[in-house]
Structure 1
Amino acid sequence: MPFMKGPAPIRRTLKFLQAGRLVLKDKIKIFSLNYNTAGKNHIGARDFVFWCLPQLQYKNPQVQVITFKNLTPTPFIKCYYDDGRHMLIDIDNKPKDEVLEHLISVIGKSDAVLAHEAVLAEKKDNPANFGIGCEKSCICEIPGQLPCPGLVPLPNMMRGKFKHATE
């Protein structure tokens, strides 16, 4: 399995990616992270990029994620909103867990919003749905569909018994 090679291959598993806790607000369009590959004050940013950035990208496919390496003396995160505004978040000398908790509280969706979105995603009141627990119990109740064969027999041309019979 080639995806299980390299440093910490657990980062490439679907279970790990789905376990991410940071879901960004809908208004955020670009998430940029600036850090250096060397230096003590950049350790938390490097760990955040290594462990949390894949989860962030998986949970937020509509957000562009950019990382800039070795361009700044102090690590920071810059979020760009859809209306042109931006937010600057300082992560200097902070461990990755503290950075993640701060991002969840500042630019992440709250637990109530996530729970509400999960309920909306499960909602099954689509008029095209049929079966147990839906508005229509059988497809024959939907206009334009054939009636149930138990109520009205199908034409012989639509029955396999006659269609595939050899003479």
Structure 2
Amino acid sequence: MPFMKGPAPIRRTIEYLDRNKLVLKDRVKIFSINYNTKGENHEGARQFVFWHLPQLQFKNPNIQITTFKNLTPSPFIQCYLACIFLENGEEVLMDVDFKSKDEIYERVRRIVCKSEETLKAEDKLDNPANFGSKCQKHCICEVPGQLPCPSLVPLPKSWRGKYKFQKPDEL
């Protein structure tokens, strides 16, 4: 299997990608991380990019995520936010110099990610396409354009297997 090759192939499994709690707020439009490939003060940023950036991309498919390597003396994360009232929007700048990947993860989660309560509330929002006992519609017959329930309005005899597949002399 070609996806299991390379360093740490676990990063490419669906279970690993889905386990992340980094769901960025709706206002975040661009997430940018700047770091160097050498230097001990950039180690945390390199590890964050290696372990958490694929998860971040998986959970936020509509957000532009960029990495800039070897362009800065100190590592930092920059987020561009959309603003309704201003044309240029806002920026959030986080210094991650000499921080570990876990410290960077917690800082990003606390500043630009949705809270646990928000994620649970969004998870409970019902999909209008679902129907059943815990959904907005109990039965598919309540959806406009669908046939009514056979318990309320009987189906035509030609649609029922009892009449379709039996011989006429048995009826």
2:45 is the alignment partner of 1:45: yes
Deviations 1:98-117 (A, max 9, x none): 11111111111111111111
How many percent of aligned residue pairs carry the same amino acid?
58
Aligned residue for 2:86? Answer: none
Aligned residue for 1:31? Answer: 31
Structure 1 segments (4+ residues) deviating >6 Å = 161-166
- TM-score normalised per structure 1: 0.82
SS of residue in 2 equivalent to 1:48:
helix
- CA 160–23 in structure 1, closer or farther in 2 if over 3 Å, else same: same
The CA distance in 1 between the partners of 2:12 and 2:102, in whole Å, is: 20
Within 5 Å, which residues of 2 pair with 1:1-167? 1-83=1-83, 84-120=89-125, 123=126, 126=128, 130-133=131-134, 138-140=139-141, 145-146=147-148, 148=150, 154-155=155-156, 157-159=158-160
Report which stretch shifted further, 94-103 or 135-144: 135-144
How many residues were matched structurally? 162
Structure 1 unpaired stretches of 5+:
none
Structure 2 unpaired stretches of 5+:
84-88
The CA distance in 1 between the partners of 2:5 and 2:43, in whole Å, is: 23
Q: Give the Å deviation of 1:165.
A: 8.9
SS of residue in 1 equivalent to 2:32:
strand
- TM-score normalised per structure 2: 0.80
Q: Give the Å deviation of 1:79.
A: 0.3
Q: Give the Å deviation of 1:161.
A: 7.0
SS of residue in 2 equivalent to 1:105:
helix
- CA 40–4 in structure 1, closer or farther in 2 if over 3 Å, else same: same
Q: Give the Å deviation of 1:158.
A: 3.9
Q: Give the Å deviation of 1:143.
A: 6.1
